[in-house]
Structure 1
Amino acid sequence: MQVSIKWLNDYIKFNETAEELADKYTMSGVPVENVIRADEGLDKVVTGRIEKLEAHPDSDHLQICQMNVGEPELIQIITGAQNVAEGQVVPVAMVGAHLPNGLHIKKGKLRGLPSNGMLCSAEELKMDLTKLTEEEKNGIYILPADTPVGVPAKDVLGLDDVVLEFDLTANRADCFSVVGLVREAAVLTGNEPHYPEISVKEDDEAKAADMIKIGIESDLCDRFAARVIKNVKVGPSPEWMQQRLEGAGIRAINNVVDVTNFVMVELGQPMHAYDYDEIAGHSLTARLAKEGENLHTLDDSSRIAKGTELVIADSEKPAGLAGVMGGLESEVTEKTTTIVLEAASFNGASIRRTSRACGLHSEASGRFERGVDVTAIPRALDRACQLLQEMGACTVTQGMVDVYPKQKDQTEIHYTAEQINARLGTQLSAAKMMEILTSLGFAVQTEGEGFVAKVPTWRNDCTCMEDLSEEVSRIYGFDNIAPTLPWGAVMQGKQSPRQDFIDKIKEILVGLGMTEELSFSFTNTDLLDKMLVPADSELRKAVPIMNPLTDDYPLVRTSLLTSIMENAVRNFSRKNMDLRLFDVAPVFFPKQLPVTEQPEEVVKLVGLMTGRRNTVGWNQTNDMIDFYDMKGLVEELLASLSISKYTVEAGEHFALHPGKTALFKKGREVIATLGELHLQAAENFGIKQKVYLFEMDVEVLMKYTAKNFHFDSLPKFPATSRDLAIVVDKDAEAGKIEQVITKNGGKHFKSVTLFDVYTGEHVAEGKKSLAFNLQFQSKDKTLTDEEADTAFNNILKAVEKQFGAELRA
């Protein structure tokens, strides 16, 4: 938003310089980014008349000008311009001038004759060349013959303005208008504003309601109003209006368009002008676009509607994108004689979405996004008609067509002086607060021991006591509020124990050759289907996302397995077939659907291994990763986390291969699940090689990690080992046999290791041979063979009894 000081001065007079006013605005929360002076470098440029012109005696192109610049004597200036003549009035840069183009004017000589200044062209004065004819652009700029001499050229050329460039925050929609900025200036300077008097003479006998029908078919439009003007004469707007629009950064087009832009900047209400004869059915309706409709806008671009855009439509087609840009077919042209002026209030979020989706941003959309004063719409329409009437460009029909289905209630805020003082750290009186709020347009009344403030209709950003306190503080002056240090308990920032534990897991797995992946917290039912998640599983009770980033991920994930498999497939598609991935991230379980409270967040750990066991090399084998590589990795992770005394047994998991799934347990609680990806799941993902997965719950791991440690001295006495080879049923689990061995090994038992599994010759059908290495050791002495044999025999008897084991010869 930018506006010229001249425009502000039209409605309020102030003694402050532009820089001082800009500082007041900024310190009150209406920041001014730049102060742009159109007269920069024109301090010593005046008007001058060429009283005498003669050729230079020593040059074939230089001319000697005797200039009248309002001083007692003529000054001599030598110029090379060929478009000057005696009697012309031109801009003259006096000695000492610093022109906008950087040129410094000094006394000098040209071919031996003195020259005391320079005649100026439009380009040297940095004038707007787009408004000039080709003749005016070339050579010295010639002023009208009746221009007085010796006066500052900036006054004559209209370059005496200063533009304030505001960097407004989104909440201050009221300041996106000259009237809104004048309101602020009145409070900041203490001067009285004088707003334009708006009155319309309805000088045409026709009635607007008979000529145009207005309708609203979407709750995204709060109010929709229109006036009809006839006998329109489209032409250039007055010079003063063009200058005001130029100061606001808007290019003048014609009187109709310029008036709508002028009112938009002046009052903050965008509006649009339609050629009445191009409106099918002579009706305009605010409605949602129909999917597939063609949206042909003023920039001569066509877009296909998605069905979510708000449009202004006639009886046949959209006549414009509501709040963003009008339609090309109903554009006002020089042939237009009857115009419908339309003004409305639209839902800001809807306009913002449409503007971004279409890649269109306009002055109008920027204001609608922030919100307009819905009660000021009739005033804006009347103002536009008034301005066109004053130009003699139209007649105005009787009445206004206004559709306003739900009247806006005025917001009321209850507060006490103590509340505001407590929040600001001030000791302001209630009377002072009332004075400030009243000056800003709030209607304040006492209510018991407190007050109630009625918010003006143009301040949509004020809804609560905290907003009122901000209004009081910014006008009272932030510099006048004593600074105080906030009080609070001093706490050292650090990670939680769970965060430290997760970091430790990541460090261990990276050290084991794994790579951490990062994934989105979203999923879809297709991924759950591919992972063979049962229909009645809790994993399918996922939280739906109201506004998903894409239609492909409408759910919040309940399992990390879907995420890691997606990443694996993405790697496979890029020919990266050797993977060791892991992910530590939260999954989310709703307590009920639809969601009424915060879902439960559970941090899970998953890992994936597939491909070659070793890196490619001449001295490496091409063996593929198998189940025991993954099992060994999980065992190493648990050991590094100081989790011990767990059992490993065969188990089941919907996504893993039956018979190739293991459960790590502490008591009855599963601390890890690992196995080979189910063949059907692999086929669903299009994977043609074996993939191994593990899944753990971080909270469960934390629960079982050792908290207290004790250290044993190195053993002074050697260990004794025995090998136990037994034949058992083929379905007997080695893990359970190890549990029995450990339980019956006696006080000197140290460890058991399975080192051989054999089926085949010399082993009966339905049987298998397991060979274990048993270690015995005492802290106090060297064990005798008899002591080791006794322990060995106890173990043998126990496995014979519980598993029907036979000692293998």
Structure 2
Amino acid sequence: MQVSIKWLKDYIDFTETPEQLADKLTMAGIPVENIIDPGEGLEKVVTGRIEKLEPHQNSDHLQICTMNVGLKENIIIVTGAQNVAEGQIVPVAMVGAHLPNGMKISKGKLRGVVSNGMLCSAQELKLDLEKLPPEQKTGIFILPSDTPVGIPAKEVLGLNDVVLEFELTANRADCFSVVGLVREIAAITGNKPHFPEIKVTEDDETKLGDIFSVEIADPDLCSRFSTRMLKNVKIGPSPEWMQQRLEGAGIRSINNVVDVTNFVMIELGHPMHAYDYDHIAGKKLIARRAVDGEELHTLDDTSRKAKGEMLVIADTEKAAGLAGIMGGFETEITDTTTTVVLESADFYGPCIRRTARACGLSSEASGRFERGIDSETTIKALDRAAQLLQEMGACTVCQGIVDVYPNPKQPAYVTFTTEQINKHLGTDIPKQTMIDIITSVGFEITKDENDEITVKVPSWRNDVSRMADISEEIARLYGFDKIASTLPSGASMQGSQSDKQTFIDKVKASLSAQGLCETISFALTNEATFDKLNVPKDDMLRQAIPIMNPLSDEYPLVRTTLLSSIFDNLSRNLARKNDNVAIFEVGTVFYPKALPVTELPNEVVKIAGAITGRRHAHIWNQPNDMVDFYDVKGIIEELFADLRVTRYTVEAGTHYAMHPGKTALFKKGRDVLATIGEVHPAVLANYGISKPVYIFELDAKTVMKYMAKDFKYKSLPKYPAMTRDLAMLVATDINSADIEKAMTKAAGQNLVQITLFDVYTGKQVEAGKKSLAFSLTFQSNDKTLTDAEVNTAIEKIVAKLQKDFDADLRA
């Protein structure tokens, strides 16, 4: 938002310099980001008349100008311009001038003649060339013949103004207007504003209600829709003063009708739109949701396809424009327009914001609707626009206004006490001072009894709804510099990491130490990912939460599994010829309690990773082995060792994304600590991967549950260990883990380690059987074990295995 000082002074008098005013506004919570001087660089440029023009004796293209610049004596300036003549008034840069284009003017001699300045062109003055006629775009800029001589050029060019550029917060929508800023200046300076009286003469006999109608089909997106009609419209340029005010606000002049709608938008903060009445089908405007895929031809001469949640303004045949953002091409104001319908409405801000983002269109109008406007100003805006055009002699005004306002906005009231305000601010502001401050910005006192004050909130202050908002108003206008700074009281506490944060750090350290690279991904996904991962149709993982305003159509859901991110990163690496990949991610997945979402979802921390490619770097002294199932199993075993998770079992399992028969579960009782396995061939095909991939997935909460909390240290064993090997034939469907459990139970406490060192199936082993060979280590903390004691334990083990598994001991 930017506005010129001249425009502000049209409505309020103040003596502060632009810098002083900017400082006061900023301290009052209306931050001024920049102060722009459009006439910067023109301080020593004045108007001058060419009294005499004669050719240079030593040049065939230079001319000698005798210039009257308002001094006692004329000065001589040598120029090469060919479009000048005696009697013309032109801008003259005097010696010492530093022009906006960077040129410094100094006294010089051209072909023997001293030149005391320079005649200026539009380019050298940095004027807007698009606004100039073709003959003024090149050569010396010629001023009107009645221009006084010797006055600053920026006064003649309309550049003797200062523009304030505001960086307003989104909650202060009321200050996105000149009237709103004037209210603030009045409260700060104590001066009375003098707003223009809005008065319209309905001088055309046509009654608008007889020939035109308005409908709001979706009142949740459009709360009010008002129109007024102008006839006998004469399209032409707007007055120079209006063009200057708009230029100071950063808006280019187009024609009187469009300029007036823009002027009212900046003045009152209420966007408007003008339609050519003759091109409105059915002579009716409807505010409705777009039909999905509906064609829109907007003012920028672009065809767009609307989406169902967009709000459009339509006639009886088609959509005539995107509500609050851009009008339609067919109903735009042209030089042939004679009857105009002015629209002033209030649209739902979030809808306008989503539509503007989806279409890549952002405008002064959409920015105001997004922040929220005053629905009570629609009629005032219509009357102001009609008044301005009527004063220009550019139209007649039809009788009546068509105003659809199904649910009028109810005034808001806030009750507070001086004690509450002072306690909240840490001040001792008198009650009357509070009342004076709050009424100065438009709040009306409706109750003042027993120190309790109730105020009626102005319709333009949508950001005020409670006592804290009132305290903010009082604080900023009372002066933040008058409020003493105090340190917050309370006991200080030492910060520390939570158990979860410490756990995550340990996981990352362990996996990184094993050579895996951490990835960090957006917590977003899409429905197609579930199909690619082979997630069953009825699985809860498919109950993903949709995002109301997704960053892109590609990722409209919040993820329910980390494997979606892992596979995206994996396939991206493999597609770029990074064939050896070992990655992991620790991140959050989101499980809704119900769909549609009515409360915050459950956020669950998961750990997942994937490995593929060679086990070692591809160099001459390393084997060329590829990673396999046991590499990923070893990663989890090492992770659990670092986390002090012990006494778990590993058994065969299933997983939607993993290969049947090549999937294992790390379990503690009934709880699954981790799932590992080779990726299912169908999943690999879905991601375009042609090589084996091994993945793992863990739930952080479950793993944390079984981490050792207390540590007990044992002294190194004093007595030697004894080792025995056992080889046996068992059925192929028997798990080695079950055999290890049975051996541990049968042997007693002296069996300290079991290692499976050989698995064999082949010609020497009968069908349906497999050979397992275990190394058993026995050791006591109290004595040296004898062969007899170990042999006894072995006999118990063999008996147990024969009974439970029908094991056949091999020699």
Instruction: Give the alignment's TM-score, normalised by structure 2.
Output: 0.90
2:508 to 506, 509, 520: 506
Are the equivalent residues in 1 in contact too, given 2:422–2:428 (CA < 8 A)? yes
Amino acid of the structure 2 residue aligned with 1:289: A
Q: Please, which moves more after superposition, 129-138 or 341-350?
A: 129-138
Q: Which residue of 1 aligns with 2:291?
A: 290
Q: Which residue of 1 aligns with 2:31?
A: 31
Q: Distance in 1 between matches of 2:52 and 2:681?
A: 103
Q: Distance in 1 between matches of 2:14 and 2:386?
A: 30
Q: Distance in 2 between matches of 1:768 and 1:367?
A: 77
Q: Which residue of 1 aligns with 2:706?
A: 704
Q: Deviations over 1:668-708 (max 9, x none)?
A: 54434444556776777777765544443323322333333
Q: Distance in 1 between matches of 2:284 and 2:2?
A: 35
Q: Distance in 2 between matches of 1:565 and 1:671?
A: 21
Q: Deviations over 1:15-59 (max 9, x none)?
A: 112222222222222222222223333334433444445555555
2:589 pairs with 1:587: yes
> Residues 486-505 of structure 1 correspond to what in structure 2 (within 5 A)?
486-505=488-507
Q: Which residue of 1 aligns with 2:5?
A: 5
Q: Which stretches in structure 2 are left out of the alignment for 5+ residues? A: none
Are the equivalent residues in 1 in contact too, given 2:354–2:549 (CA < 8 A)? no
2:779 pairs with 1:777: yes
The offset of 1:272, in angstroms, is: 1.9
Q: Distance in 1 between matches of 2:109 and 2:354?
A: 64
The offset of 1:135, in angstroms, is: 3.7
Q: Distance in 2 between matches of 1:561 and 1:122?
A: 63
Amino acid of the structure 1 residue aligned with 2:203: D
The offset of 1:407, in angstroms, is: 0.8
Q: Which residue of 2 aligns with 1:666?
A: 668
Q: Please, which moves more after superposition, 357-366 or 750-759?
A: 750-759
1:477 to 470, 476, 479: 479
Q: Distance in 2 between matches of 1:423 and 1:274?
A: 50
Q: Please, which moves more after superposition, 367-376 or 122-131?
A: 122-131
Q: Which residue of 1 aligns with 2:368?
A: 367
Local SS of the residue matching 1:639: helix
Q: Which residue of 2 aligns with 1:198?
A: 198
Q: Deviations over 1:567-603 (max 9, x none)?
A: 5566666676655444433334445555554433333
Q: Distance in 1 between matches of 2:12 and 2:737?
A: 91
Q: Which residue of 2 aligns with 1:174?
A: 174
> Residues 368-447 of structure 1 correspond to what in structure 2 (within 5 A)?
368-447=369-448
Q: Which residue of 2 aligns with 1:468?
A: 470
Q: Distance in 1 between matches of 2:699 and 2:594?
A: 22
Q: Please, which moves more after superposition, 39-48 or 447-456?
A: 39-48
The offset of 1:438, in angstroms, is: 0.6
Q: Distance in 1 between matches of 2:674 and 2:643?
A: 13
Q: Deviations over 1:388-436 (max 9, x none)?
A: 2212221111111111111111121222222222222221122111111
The offset of 1:714, in angstroms, is: 3.8
Q: 1:273 to 1:559 in 2, by over 3 A?
A: closer
The offset of 1:98, in angstroms, is: 3.8
The offset of 1:440, in angstroms, is: 0.5
Q: Deviations over 1:648-671 (max 9, x none)?
A: 444555665565554444345443
Q: Distance in 2 between matches of 1:139 and 1:567?
A: 61
Q: 1:781 to 1:475 in 2, by over 3 A?
A: same
Q: Which residue of 2 aligns with 1:796?
A: 798
Q: Distance in 2 between matches of 1:385 and 1:421?
A: 47
Amino acid of the structure 2 residue aligned with 1:40: E
The offset of 1:155, in angstroms, is: 2.8
Amino acid of the structure 2 residue aligned with 1:504: K
Q: Distance in 2 between matches of 1:148 and 1:600?
A: 76
Q: Deviations over 1:191-230 (max 9, x none)?
A: 2111111111111111111222222112211211111122
> Residues 650-665 of structure 1 correspond to what in structure 2 (within 5 A)?
650-651=652-653, 660-665=662-667
Local SS of the residue matching 2:747: coil
The offset of 1:63, in angstroms, is: 4.7
Q: 1:231 to 1:731 in 2, by over 3 A?
A: closer
Local SS of the residue matching 1:631: helix
Q: Which residue of 1 aligns with 2:217?
A: 217
Q: Please, which moves more after superposition, 70-79 or 308-317?
A: 70-79
1:639 to 621, 638, 641: 641
Q: Distance in 2 between matches of 1:87 and 1:543?
A: 76
Q: 1:250 to 1:722 in 2, by over 3 A?
A: closer
Q: Which stretches in structure 1 are left out of the alignment for 5+ residues? A: none
Q: 1:78 to 1:530 in 2, by over 3 A?
A: closer
2:466 pairs with 1:457: no
Q: Which residue of 2 aligns with 1:158?
A: 158
Are the equivalent residues in 1 in contact too, given 2:323–2:352 (CA < 8 A)? yes
The offset of 1:565, in angstroms, is: 5.0
Q: Which residue of 2 aligns with 1:47?
A: 47
The offset of 1:524, in angstroms, is: 5.9
Q: Distance in 2 between matches of 1:538 and 1:591?
A: 11
Q: Which residue of 2 aligns with 1:305?
A: 306
The offset of 1:262, in angstroms, is: 1.8
Q: Deviations over 1:174-204 (max 9, x none)?
A: 2222222222222222221111111111111
Q: Which residue of 2 aligns with 1:271?
A: 272
Q: Please, which moves more after superposition, 603-612 or 571-580?
A: 571-580
Q: Deviations over 1:587-636 (max 9, x none)?
A: 34445555554433333333444555555566666655444444343333
Local SS of the residue matching 2:174: helix
Are the equivalent residues in 1 in contact too, given 2:729–2:808 (CA < 8 A)? yes
The offset of 1:134, in angstroms, is: 3.9
Cα root mean square deviation, aligned: 3.4
Q: Which has the larger radius of gyration?
A: 1
Q: Please, which moves more after superposition, 13-22 or 795-804?
A: 795-804
> Residues 555-704 of structure 1 correspond to what in structure 2 (within 5 A)?
556-561=558-563, 563-564=565-566, 579-591=581-593, 595-610=597-612, 613=615, 616=618, 625-651=627-653, 660-677=662-679, 691-704=693-706
Amino acid of the structure 2 residue aligned with 1:722: R
Amino acid of the structure 2 residue aligned with 1:229: L
The offset of 1:538, in angstroms, is: 5.3
Q: Which residue of 2 aligns with 1:338?
A: 339
Q: Please, which moves more after superposition, 380-389 or 758-767?
A: 758-767
Local SS of the residue matching 2:794: helix
Amino acid of the structure 2 residue aligned with 1:738: E
